[in-house]
Structure 1
Amino acid sequence: MTTVSAPRLSIRVRLRGVGAGLGRWVSHAGYLQKWLVLGTFIGIIAGLGAVAFYSLLRLASHVFLGLIGGYFVPQPAAEDGFLGTPNFPTWWLIPIIVCLGGLLSGAIVYLFAPEAEGHGTNAAIDAVHRNPRMIRSRAVIVKMIASAITIGSGGSGGREGPTAQISAGFGSLLARTLNLSPEDGRIAVSMGIGSGIGAIFGAPLGGAVLAAGIVYREDFEVKALVPGLISSSVGYTVWGLFQGFTPLFGYSASNYRFDQPIQLLWFAVIGVVAGLVGLAYAKSYYSIAGLSKRLQVPRMLRPAIGGLAVGLLALAVPQVLGTGYGWVQQALDRSTLMALPLWIVLVLPFAKILATSLSIGTGGSGGIFGPGIVIGGFVGSALWRLVEPLGQGMGVPLSPAPFVIVGMMACFGAIARAPLAVMLMVAEMTGTLTILGPAMVAVGIAYLMVRRTDATIYRSQLLDRTEAQSARLHIGLPLLGRVGVAEAAVSPRVLLTTDMTVSNAITRLESAFVPGAPAVDTDGRFQGTVDMAVLRKLTAADDTTIERCVDAAAPTVSDGADLGEAIDALPEGHGWLTVLDDEHRVSGILAIGDVVRAYHATLRSDERIVAQVSADSGITYIRIAPSSPLAGHTLAERGLPDGVIVLSVRRGEEALLAAGSVELCAGDLVSVLAPVNMLAAVRALLAPG
């Protein structure tokens, strides 16, 4: 039997004890204490993660493009402002290098953490909605290495995706280790997204707002904003201690003053064009990603094919290689932008879209936030080159910087469905706030254009909070918040230990007729859950333990929580979750059937209590007739006479609480509380004839 050495086991037990102790403190701490501590921890990891990935990326770029290819990409102002190598010393090596980077990246992701492919921000948003505990630590490490290789070898991608996944992964780790409530877990992961991106871009305020706005297309998670301010500020401070506090693109338009109203016309044009280019970006990326999945080649080879195509494209348009931030820096300056051929400036936005789609959409690892900013900057520079001959008399600024900055804000702010956050981030990245006023015209127009199509670059975003599973349940079933988990949970039929053999675990699960069970260590502390389907796929020897099969990210809920929190913790597709006490020990199991049973019992109890409130009131059950004026309408639209309360609506086997948004249908069984002298009138209204 495989065993764990005593020293290793002792360290694990101690760490779990520390985690359990911190978890108890967090569960009883006040709002300020909790988020000050958690926000500081997440911010420190975000800053250190950003520094670590930036250093790894610089090393990869130096090795692949620099030492092997003899080509050094331009750098933005905060990173020495190097103008880059004027041409390729050995041009034929460039496609080979980018292809090799894609091959290495694809192999690492495929072999060690397949979920790390593509752009990390989307995966982190998905974790916020589905299960804030689901981000594996292994995926974070793989994401860092694979992204550094992809981008460092010339692939077109952003460095914010890996940094967002690092800090979001730490938030996910906190959710698991401290047994955070589902709501706190979502906030922790959202904070990680915002603080990671804010740190790597040197934009703390934008990062904090991004934490609250990136998870929805048309909503704002207010509860994540204030904690996000703490984590993003700490992350930025840590980043600055190592890399300095100079804005990424320097103080690019610090002298700009909006004093010509005619410029609003040009900013409106930028908004229109940026909105259209943003839509093209999303369409191109997901089209190529879909095409890549249909290719009849091994999965790990797809990024290599994309890399080869990007390398060939770079022979004509070298600006597509890497992040592109250095080229945006050059576009901000009149002299360097005018030195570029006009056709290059005009084709750049579309070439960068194609390169990013080929690099990341085929399975390469990297972010799509950064390229979106670069694409928007290229849109602004192209428009400035076209209208520059009109001169300042027509409101065209002498410097292209205002056009480039507004293009960055409008293009990606619209397609990311986070206009306010991206506006603030770009303002911080360029060291200017004076352009925000007129820029709002461009950003507003671009956002409204994208909103009409319902498009987004982050497909894990939900429309708003009402679309989330937990929000839907709380609106329709508010009694969930009054029923304790301890009242509904049942004892587990099977409790496995991590040193149990695979064959023994399968026998135990089969005997109890259950698809899975919680697993605990030798000290009795919860480690995760084990699924029968996973065990049956193993071909290992019978004496192999189940330790490596344990899902540490499995959903859990505290025994002091209510059913609303339990539903929040239950990801889509899971039928049960484990209930834990303050010591991180298993106290029960809660399945969907248990939730429904406890809810119905509470509903029936409330009906009896309400019926006793007044001697002249009574409850009656009425089935809605097709001829009822309420059929096909919500209670908010039609309602009932004063003094009459609809307690519940039963539709087949489904029990609904009578919220104003519930639409009544013919055949619904409605329980109504009303004065005795009004019951006949209510019956005539609901079931006339």
Structure 2
Amino acid sequence: MPRFGLASAAQRLRELLNGPRLLVPLGFAERAPLDFRFLGRALIQAALVGLAAGLAGAAFFAALEYLSRLLLEDLAGYVPVRARGEQFAASGHGTPFRPWLLVLIPALGGLGAGLVARWVPEVRGGGADPTIEAFHYRGGMLRRRLIWAKPLASLFTLGTGGAGGREGPTMLIGGAIGSSVARALGLSARERRILLVAGVAAGISAVFRTPLGAALLAVELLYRDGFESDALIPSVLSSVTAYSVVISIFGESTLFTHAPRFPFVPAHLPLYGLLALVVASVAVGFLAVFGATRRGFSKLPLPEWLRPALGGLALGILATAAITLLGAGTTQPGQGLGILGGGYGAVQAAISGASWLPLGWNGVLLLVGLALLKIFASSLTIGSGGSAGDFAPSLAIGGLLGGAFGRAAQLLLHDPRIDPGAFALVGMGAFYAGIAHVPLAALVLVCELAGNYDLLVPLMLALGISFVVLRKKGIYEAQVATLADSPVHRDAIMLDMLRTAHVSELMVSGRPFASFSPGSSAQDVIDKVGDADWQNVFPVVDAEQRLLGLVTSEAAHVLAQQADDARWTIVADMMQPAVWVRQDDDLHTATKALVESGLRELPVVDAERRVIGFLDEADIAKLHLSSATRAEAGPG
């Protein structure tokens, strides 16, 4: 949250009370009761967004599979490794491996993505940061052209082997659909933001097939510490709808195949804790490489639209060299190792084994090597401006490291109860939870991938450690720390603070003050106001000390400059109507009274309207400043 002083805090209070009526988030339920009509509309709209995003995600997945098979397999002779949930269209695999084409094809794809980005810059990279920025700073507005531009740029990047994921693009596509539906229906900014998040959930669910995890990820991704509770229920419905659409078309299956159960062994918890530390350490390196690559490409003396082509060329060289050198002992030439694409096929091998993955320490070293190669491959693709997500590479790196760790533990401890597949799944969750600050979503995502909650306790431990270690680092620059740091909720939190505090907490009482009767002379007013060292407002009272009106120090100073008028003026002529607050009023009511009256100070009266103290605008501003400072500092 930006730092500000007492004067700006007071001005912000005035703007807040003078501005349009604010819709307080449902998180402040005590003062913002649930509007079931609003919720009903939101659910219907979320289902509509989920349907559209599910169809768009299915079409994108099908087009991407066909394009990658045509260019990489049928043309270049590349043989990718796939997870179970990625099996889609058949290919003859009869084309001989052509390494020179595998070098060139990603470069051509990068060129196509760069040309699209020349006209629609938001298609660069994944989909998280533009979506987060749209939520916090643009009222949930994403341009409609992203609905076609993002899939087109991502088809160029991923269809030619770009080392990124599908989830990032479909996240942005779904968000753009949600934003467009909201605008077409003429919805408010609040509803538009909710549908944006619901669209993100639907986009993730459409390709990852984890409906609850996708919904939680969509609401948790916006903050480093917190989640968007308003959008949770619509996101769940949108995610379920998109998931239902996709499995109706492609059939029901989880992304990975794995052992049916993972028995919980308490003695293995220290191993999971150590895995989390290893994964978090590698994640720090990944973020450093990713950031350095992006900065390096940004400094190249090349047109921005040409940089993804250079990144694609470097990726093609890296992947071809790795396939040639590391894959010398595989079953067929051109055998992929998960360096291109999202890398889920390599994770599948880490979970359940594969014919190309050696046993023993050679397998451990190969998995570690693939994880490191994936770091550089994904950095080249995304860091150069290619249109691909960071979600899949992050999961792949964590899964490969976890699989290697599990195999190493098995070899060292000779414990048959150690399942490398369990460590691979936990490694996936720990890596992404740490760099994206989404521990709850990652926990549920992995449980959905596993098909059960056997790994719940190891995941809680590993994700907690990773989250704490990577607390100060993250991959999404647009994330804000908490709800209090988001412009969306900052005003709502201020209003919540005003509604929970009362005048009695801030009023000045028991201090002598000057007052006047209606018949007091103007000269008496001028003298007493001149002697006052703290009052700005002076009560006018009757014989029983009941408040009748007010005289301000400004009025007295003006009158002092007009000696002729002051001679004939009495208080009844110069006083203004009485404005007051009671000590049991909340500060929201008091601030409205201050703003509407234009006064900097108000008298506080009892039941008989006798003045018992004063409330100063500056004290309210100090309270707001103190609350803002605490929110900025965070818990503790």
**What is the TM-score normalised by the length of structure 2?**
0.71
Residue in 2 aligned with 1:157? 164
Residue in 2 aligned with 1:418? 438
> How far apart are the structure 1 equivalents of 2:456 and 2:71?
39
Alpha carbons 2:602, 2:616 under 8 Å: kept: no
* Root mean square deviation of aligned Cα: 3.0
> How far apart are the structure 2 equivalents of 1:401 and 1:84?
30
> How far apart are the structure 2 equivalents of 1:357 and 1:370?
13
Alpha carbons 2:114, 2:305 under 8 Å: kept: yes
> How far apart are the structure 1 equivalents of 2:92 and 2:370?
17
SS in 2 for 1:262: helix
Question: Following TM superposition, by how much is the alpha carbon of 1:62 offset from its aligned partner in structure 2, in angstroms?
Answer: 1.6
Matched, 1:47 2:54: yes
Pick from 224, 241, 247: which aligns with 1:240? 247
Question: Following TM superposition, by how much is the alpha carbon of 1:601 offset from its aligned partner in structure 2, in angstroms?
Answer: 3.5
Matched, 1:372 2:394: yes
Alpha-carbon spacing, 1:334–1:167, altered in 2? closer, same or farther (3 Å) = closer
Matched, 1:200 2:198: no
Matched, 1:456 2:474: yes
Residue in 2 aligned with 1:113? 120
For structure 1, the 5+ residue unaligned runs are 1-26, 482-596, 621-645, 665-689
Alpha-carbon spacing, 1:335–1:172, altered in 2? closer, same or farther (3 Å) = closer
> How far apart are the structure 1 equivalents of 2:301 and 2:603?
65
CA distances 1:236-279 after superposition (whole Å, capped 9, x unpaired): 111111111110113x1322211x32211211111111111222
Paired letter, 1:447: F
Residue in 2 aligned with 1:226? 233
Match runs of 1:268-667 below 5 Å:
268-318=273-323, 319-336=338-355, 337-338=357-358, 341-393=363-415, 397=418, 399-451=419-471, 454-476=472-494, 601-602=595-596, 604=598, 615-617=609-611, 620=614, 646-649=615-618, 656=621, 658-659=623-624, 661=626
Identity of aligned residues (%): 33
Question: Following TM superposition, by how much is the alpha carbon of 1:383 offset from its aligned partner in structure 2, in angstroms?
Answer: 1.3
Paired letter, 1:115: E
> How far apart are the structure 2 equivalents of 1:79 and 1:658?
56
Residue in 2 aligned with 1:565? none
Residue in 1 aligned with 2:632? none
For structure 2, the 5+ residue unaligned runs are 1-33, 324-337, 500-590, 630-636
Alpha-carbon spacing, 1:40–1:599, altered in 2? closer, same or farther (3 Å) = farther
Residue in 2 aligned with 1:538? none
> How far apart are the structure 2 equivalents of 1:343 and 1:159?
28
Question: Following TM superposition, by how much is the alpha carbon of 1:366 offset from its aligned partner in structure 2, in angstroms?
Answer: 0.9
Question: Following TM superposition, by how much is the alpha carbon of 1:29 offset from its aligned partner in structure 2, in angstroms?
Answer: 6.9
Question: Following TM superposition, by how much is the alpha carbon of 1:425 offset from its aligned partner in structure 2, in angstroms?
Answer: 1.3
Residue in 2 aligned with 1:136? 143
> How far apart are the structure 1 equivalents of 2:175 and 2:145?
13
Question: Following TM superposition, by how much is the alpha carbon of 1:607 offset from its aligned partner in structure 2, in angstroms?
Answer: 6.3
Matched, 1:93 2:101: yes
> How far apart are the structure 2 equivalents of 1:449 and 1:86?
48
> How far apart are the structure 2 equivalents of 1:93 and 1:663?
57
> How far apart are the structure 2 equivalents of 1:69 and 1:364?
21
Residue in 2 aligned with 1:569? none
CA distances 1:286-321 after superposition (whole Å, capped 9, x unpaired): 221111111110111100111111111112334311
CA distances 1:74-122 after superposition (whole Å, capped 9, x unpaired): 2211233999979971112211111111111111221x31121111122
Alpha carbons 1:64, 1:152 under 8 Å: kept: yes
Alpha-carbon spacing, 1:296–1:390, altered in 2? closer, same or farther (3 Å) = same
Pick from 225, 249, 256: which aligns with 2:262? 256
Alpha carbons 2:364, 2:405 under 8 Å: kept: no
Alpha-carbon spacing, 1:354–1:85, altered in 2? closer, same or farther (3 Å) = farther
Alpha-carbon spacing, 1:341–1:379, altered in 2? closer, same or farther (3 Å) = closer
CA distances 1:109-152 after superposition (whole Å, capped 9, x unpaired): 21x31121111122111111111343111123111011112111
Point out the more displaced range, 215-224 or 74-83. 74-83
SS in 2 for 1:656: helix
> How far apart are the structure 2 equivalents of 1:400 and 1:478?
49
Q: Which protein, 1 or 2, shows the higher relative CO under an 8 Å CA cutoff with sep ≥ 6?
A: 2
Alpha carbons 1:97, 1:153 under 8 Å: kept: yes
Residue in 1 aligned with 2:537? none
Residue in 2 aligned with 1:148? 155
Paired letter, 1:324: G
Q: How many residue pairs align between the two structures?
A: 487
SS in 1 for 2:621: strand
> How far apart are the structure 2 equivalents of 1:663 and 1:140?
38
Point out the more displaced range, 179-188 or 263-272. 179-188
CA distances 1:381-435 after superposition (whole Å, capped 9, x unpaired): 2212323313543x762x4211111110111111110011012112222323211
Alpha-carbon spacing, 1:145–1:480, altered in 2? closer, same or farther (3 Å) = farther
**What is the TM-score normalised by the length of structure 1?**
0.66
Alpha carbons 2:202, 2:235 under 8 Å: kept: yes
Alpha carbons 1:648, 1:658 under 8 Å: kept: no
